[in-house]
A and B are shown apart, each in its own frame.
Chain A
Amino acid sequence: MTVATLRYRTLGRRRAFGALGTALALFCAILAAGSLLAILGYVVVQGVGAINWNFLTQLPHPIGVPGGGVGNGIVGTFVVIGLAMAMAVPIGLLTGIYLALFGRGPIPEALRFLSDVLSGVPSIAIGLFAYAVLVAPLKHFSGFSASFAFMMLMLPLLVRTSEQAIRSVPQTVREGALALGMSNFRATVGIVLPTARPAIITALLLAIARVTGETAPLLFTAFGTQFWEFNPNRPMAVLALQVFNYAISPYSEWQSQAWAGAFLLVTAVFALSLGARLMLRRAMRGLDS
């Protein structure tokens, strides 16, 4: 029996085995993507019916009183995330500029490592940090402490992406600006940053998406309230926290509100992710041209 015939005799079996394996791989890919559709489908079916104007604008009602909404939680979400952005964007951008401009040597490397480490720290541990710094000393929960925790969650993404965005601006652009007599400051702020802007906005959108559904640190920072609250120095309702509290409650009317809240969260997060994707495409095109 020659080698050729031996090969030929096993080839059919090997091909069949390959087809089987490919089918298994396809099945796994569909399983992963399909579970998203299963979750989303359920959230939409359960949630969309309970969404109406009152749900978006009213305060939560006590149990037994039908209706009610998550208006204060939506307001709180905007306030908490807005404040978090106001802190995270400058720190993240400055660190990103530092890493991009002075990016060699042990100190920048250490900073990059710290940033990567921070991105893997569980959000609950960051919540404990916010509690220790801003809740325990002041002896009251506050929306601001939640913003602080969210800032910590947003920073790693902002730092690393703004560094990459600034680095990916061609060196010639910067050199051109410097050759025209611009100072480094003006070259960076006036020329390099605007060129890198789409990529940085992409990162910002992703960072916002990351914290929009974040719940764990809120438990002992924002804490939640039943009332309208616009002052970030006081406990605040946040949508994700309301969804959590309603979900683990024993009342079916609250549970259906949890589904409606989840629908809002998912919609917001997906809109942000899609926005980031479109922005990224623009960023890539901007760099190519």
Chain B
Amino acid sequence: MTQGTEPQFRRVARFVSPADRGFAAVVYGGSILFALLIVGLFVELVLGSWPSIAHFGGSFIFQSAWDPVASKFGALPMIYGTVVTSFIAILLAGFVGIMAAVFLADFAPSWLAAPLSFLIELLAAVPSVVYGLWGLFVLAPFVRTAIGPALQKVLGWTPLFSGPIYGVGLLTAGIILALMIVPTVAAISRDVIAAIPRDLREASMALGSTKWETATRVVLPSARVGIFGACVLALGRALGETIAVTMVIGNRPEISASLFAPSYTLASVIANEFTEATTSLYISALIELGLILFIVSVIVNALARLMIWSVRGST
């Protein structure tokens, strides 16, 4: 918020009076509760997935059979689906988001920058289920009738774009995810770019660069760590996104080369099957998928925070 004006906080006085002691105790209590909740989240996920971990061990991650009837559970198809959809999303959203950020920070006149930023930030507020609804009834038919056939015409010789086009599938899920994470990429990148010192731009312009050359060869490279952090943060959102993906991915635990094929993600299989899971091993396998998701998202987010902090400053 108000950067630079933040006072250096220090312990002003000791908490000596009874009221102060009570106050301190309550404050400590609240914080400890908060910490316990987060630790509890991790512990409960581990406990819940323990039967599955004990039963399948490490092979859980590499097995591609997902057959609840035969009690065979392998996470590989879901890991594949999660990685592919997130990759498509970050590819699309990364390019569009960074370009939009460059425009908003360095090129747009302020009468245009403010409303455009506002619209892009509102995009982040649209609920996931609304994206899913739109994806299911607008985007999926559009992929089936327009985007899919067009891609197939040009790139149909690659396995990626071969096979029947259902409308729902990896590509559609990837595009919906891209829409959902574009605001994250654009908003943070814009802040990072805006934080690059003016001197650099002026020096570059003084040496005769055009505005575009300044933006892409001087400003963007200086901001690359922060922008990369923004992309990683957005990737974290894409990996764990559930409802919208569940609605447009087709829900089939298979690995197929084609991006038009229906698939499954870690989050969407939990959403779809958890309440219908009958055996305790089934439930446990689903919770283990949640645990994998949790661990991956913690790693990804920690990385992203470190990168964004290193340029924008902590808190």
Residues of A within 8 A of B (CB): 7, 14-15, 17-19, 21-22, 24-33, 35-37, 39-40, 42-43, 90-95, 97-104, 111-126, 128-129, 131-133, 152, 155, 159-160, 163-164, 167-168, 170-171, 174-175, 178, 183-186, 188-189, 199, 209, 212-216, 219-220, 223, 240, 243-244, 247-248, 255, 258-259, 262, 265-266, 269-270, 273, 284, 287
A279 → B minimal CB distance (Å): 13
**CB distance A171 to B30 under 8 Å?**
no
Interface centre among A18, A115, A155 (most CB of B within 10 A): A18
**CB distance A36 to B100 under 8 Å?**
no
**CB distance A121 to B294 under 8 Å?**
yes
Q: Which 8 A/B pairs are nearest by Cβ-Cβ distance?
A: A213-B127, A122-B240, A94-B30, A18-B212, A120-B301, A28-B99, A25-B103, A185-B23
**CB distance B240 to A212 under 8 Å?**
no
**CB distance B134 to A152 under 8 Å?**
no
**A32-B97, A199-B1, A212-B127 in contact; A124/B290 too (CB < 8 A)?**
yes
Residues of A within 8 A of B213 (CB): 14, 18
**A98-B27, A132-B48 in contact; A214/B9 too (CB < 8 A)?**
no
CA distance A51 to B134 in the complex (A): 18
CA distance A118 to B42 in the complex (A): 10
Tell which of B31-39, B58-66, B70-78, B153-161 binds the partner. Answer: B31-39
Residues of A within 8 A of B31 (CB): 94-95, 98-99, 111
B243 nearest in chain A by CB position: A215
**CB distance B30 to A90 under 8 Å?**
yes
**CB distance B208 to A247 under 8 Å?**
no
B95, B123, B128, B138: the one within 8 Å of A36 (CB): B123
Residues of B within 8 A of A259 (CB): 133
**CB distance A183 to B134 under 8 Å?**
no
B234 → A minimal CB distance (Å): 11
**A29-B116, A120-B236, A184-B23 in contact; A248/B247 too (CB < 8 A)?**
yes
Interface centre among A18, A42, A125 (most CB of B within 10 A): A125
**CB distance B128 to A262 under 8 Å?**
no
**A22-B103, A175-B12, A223-B275 in contact; A37/B130 too (CB < 8 A)?**
no
A152 nearest in chain B by CB position: B37
B48 → A minimal CB distance (Å): 5
CA distance A259 to B116 in the complex (A): 26
Residues of B within 8 A of A17 (CB): 210, 212
**CB distance A128 to B7 under 8 Å?**
no
Residues of B within 8 A of A119 (CB): 301
Residues of A within 8 A of B100 (CB): 25, 28-29, 31-32
CA distance A33 to B275 in the complex (A): 37
**A152-B37, A270-B122 in contact; A14/B210 too (CB < 8 A)?**
yes
CA distance A100 to B215 in the complex (A): 38
List residues of B (91-122) whose CB comes within 8 Å of A's CBs.
95-97, 99-100, 102-104, 107-108, 116, 119-120, 122
Residues of B in contact, count (CB < 8 Å): 101
Tell me whether B202 is interfacial, beta carbon within 8 Å.
Answer: no
**CB distance A120 to B298 under 8 Å?**
yes
CA distance A45 to B127 in the complex (A): 17
B35, B44, B136, B267: the one within 8 Å of A247 (CB): B136
Main DSSP-derived SS at the B contact region = helix
Tell which of B144-152, B178-186, B222-230 binds the partner. Answer: B178-186
A91, A101, A104, A129: the one within 8 Å of B45 (CB): A129
A211 nearest in chain B by CB position: B127
Residues of A within 8 A of B275 (CB): 219-220, 223
B8, B103, B130: the one within 8 Å of A29 (CB): B103
Q: Pull 27 A–B residue pairs with CB atoms less than 8 Å apart, ordered by A.
A: A14-B210, A25-B100, A25-B102, A29-B99, A29-B120, A91-B37, A94-B29, A95-B30, A99-B31, A111-B31, A116-B305, A120-B304, A122-B239, A122-B242, A125-B293, A132-B45, A152-B41, A159-B34, A174-B12, A184-B13, A186-B19, A213-B128, A213-B129, A215-B129, A216-B128, A220-B275, A247-B132
**A26-B107, A167-B6 in contact; A178/B13 too (CB < 8 A)?**
yes
Residues of A within 8 A of B136 (CB): 247-248
B134 nearest in chain A by CB position: A39
A42, A123, A183, A186: the one within 8 Å of B242 (CB): A123
A18, A128, A199: the one within 8 Å of B290 (CB): A128
Give per-residue flags for B43-60: 1 if the beta carbon is below 8 A from chain A beta carbons, else 0: 011011000000000000
B89 → A minimal CB distance (Å): 13
**A101-B9, A184-B13 in contact; A124/B271 too (CB < 8 A)?**
yes
Residues of B within 8 A of A101 (CB): 9, 11, 27
CA distance A25 to B275 in the complex (A): 45
